[in-house]
Structure 1
Amino acid sequence: MDPAESLLETEDTMQKTVEHLGHEFASVRTGKASPSLIENLDVFVHSYGSQMKLKQLAVISTPEPRMLSVSPFDPSTTPEIEKAIRESKLGLNPAAAERSIRVPIPELSEERRKEMVKMVKQLGEEAKVRIRAIRKEGMDAAKKMKADNVLTEDGQKDHESEVQKLTDRFVKEIDTISAAKEAEVMKV
């Protein structure tokens, strides 16, 4: 592996970590209805004998600003979908109708907002830990390239410096995304 390829791989992996954090933040409740809030919930469907994401089982829409509507493709999965939504850590109380499930999004209390902010901070910290693990892999790759005589000692230091710059850039991006999400959660 050459140094440029190693840096590109490190940057790509860090970028994917930040994108994953964005997807995790989409499921954090902010008090307004959004299909992304529940679309990635795992639902065990007995008739299929497997665990599936909610978005694979139903159409999720927002008919009103504080309401989600879940329309299962197969009406026999309605009880399992309702149960998965109720048992999620989102604190939602779905109500099954004839061919759909209505999920009202209640106003968040101050206490619940603070819990959500803690969860946002925890998700942000987990992403930073993943970024630091990727940095370690990049540093180890530099040492290996030095040992394999692909890099000189100065080349190794330069490579490690570039990996650190990438790490700093992505940690700062995570902090920015986390702060924006915290502000969104606390906004009444």
Structure 2
Amino acid sequence: MSKDSTGPDMGELKRRMEGAVASLKSEFGGLRTGRATSSLLDPVMVKAYGSEMPLNQVGTVNVPEPRMLSVQVWDKSMVGAVERAIRDSGLGVNPVTDGQSVRVPIPPLNEERRQELTKVAAKYAEQTRVAIRNIRRDGMEAVKKADGMPEDEQKKTSDQIQKLTDDFVKQVDDMLAAKEKEIMQV
């Protein structure tokens, strides 16, 4: 359906749902599994130059080994702040300063921690499903408010919105299943 006064813009609804899924992907990237990934440190903010900056703006994150991250800090004076930020991030890792870089060994996860992480992943997924349903509700309200839209056209548009919603919710469920499998993998 094109963008006009007779109903919701399907492209806009799809774009908003894609945004919700992209946000979930980012949240999942910050969840620690047994393997090292550079996205693990994405949420870490460093006190630098009088403000808080994302870690990737003060150094380069590399994955030299499956259970090790390395942060090459660009400014030597920032090494301590980077180490502190990683330690205080709540990721359960213990960084080690090595000259101008910070090594972050990734300890293996115990069973209890794996269970906690799957619950956190499920919470993130549910928040995304709620966001997608809210977008659906906005679209359905736009259909109801559309003046001069024939009843069969309203039904067709409502069905399209529901199908779009179902597709995105399935995408979220698939992402959650993959993340849970990744977390539980020993």
Normalised by the length of structure 1, the TM-score is: 0.91
Structure 1 range deviating more: 118-127 or 77-86? 77-86
Residue 160 of structure 1 corresponds to which residue in structure 2? 158
Q: What amino acid maps onto 1:170 in structure 2? A: F
- Equivalences for residues 83-102 of structure 1 within 5 A: 83-102=84-103
Which residue in the other structure is 1:25 paired with?
28
**In the aligned structure 2, how far is the partner of 1:4 from the partner of 1:152?**
11
CA distance in 1, matches of 2:7, 2:25: 27
Alignment check: 8 A CA contact 2:72 2:101 kept: yes
Once the two structures are superposed, residues 24-64 of structure 1 have per-residue CA deviations (whole angstroms, 9 ceiling, x without a partner) of 1111111111111103322222xx22221111111011122
CA distance in 2, matches of 1:76, 1:114: 39
SS at structure 2 position matched to 1:168: helix
Contact 1:40 1:55 in 2 (8 A): no
Q: How many angstroms apart in 2 are the aligned matches of 1:94 and 1:177?
A: 29
Contact kept in structure 1, 2:8 and 2:143, CA below 8 Å: no
Specify the alignment match of 2:106 in structure 1: 105
Whole-angstrom CA distance in 2 between matches of 1:177 and 1:112 = 20
- Report the equivalent of 1:187: 185
Letter in 2 for 1:163: I
After superposition, the CA RMSD in angstroms is: 1.5
Report the alpha carbon displacement of residue 4 of structure 1 after superposing the two structures with TM. 7.8
Give, as a single letter, the amino acid of the residue that structure 2 aligns with 1:75: K
Partner of 2:133: 132
Alignment of 1:1-188 (within 5 A): 1-2=3-4, 6-45=9-48, 48-145=49-146, 148-149=147-148, 151-188=149-186
Measured in 1, the distance between the counterparts of 2:167 and 2:42 equals 30
CA distance in 2, matches of 1:37, 1:169: 28
Q: Please, which moves more after superposition, 129-138 or 153-162?
A: 153-162
Give unmatched runs, 5+ long, in structure 2: none
| C-alpha distance in structure 2 between counterparts of 1:141 and 1:80, whole Å | 49
DSSP-derived class of the 2:90 partner:
coil
**Does structure 2 conserve the Cα–Cα contact (< 8 Å) formed by 1:44 and 1:51?**
yes
2:7–2:143 CA contact under 8 A, matched in 1: no
Per-residue CA shift, 1:95-135, capped at 9, x if unaligned? Answer: 11211111000000001111110111011001101101111
Which letter maps to 2:30?
A: S
Q: Which runs of 5+ in 1 are unaligned?
A: none
Residue identity in the other structure for 2:158: E
Task: Give distance in 1, aligned partners of 2:7 and 2:142.
Answer: 11
Partner-residue secondary structure (3-state), 2:9: helix
SS in 1 for 2:132: helix
Distance 1:164 1:139 in 2: 9
List structure 1 runs of 4+ shifted beyond 2 angstroms.
1-5
The one-character-per-residue Cα deviations of 1:144-164 (angstroms, maximum 9, x if unpaired) are 22xx33x22222222111111
Cα distance, 1:164–1:8 mapped onto 2, change above 3 Å: same
CA distance in 2, matches of 1:23, 1:62: 18
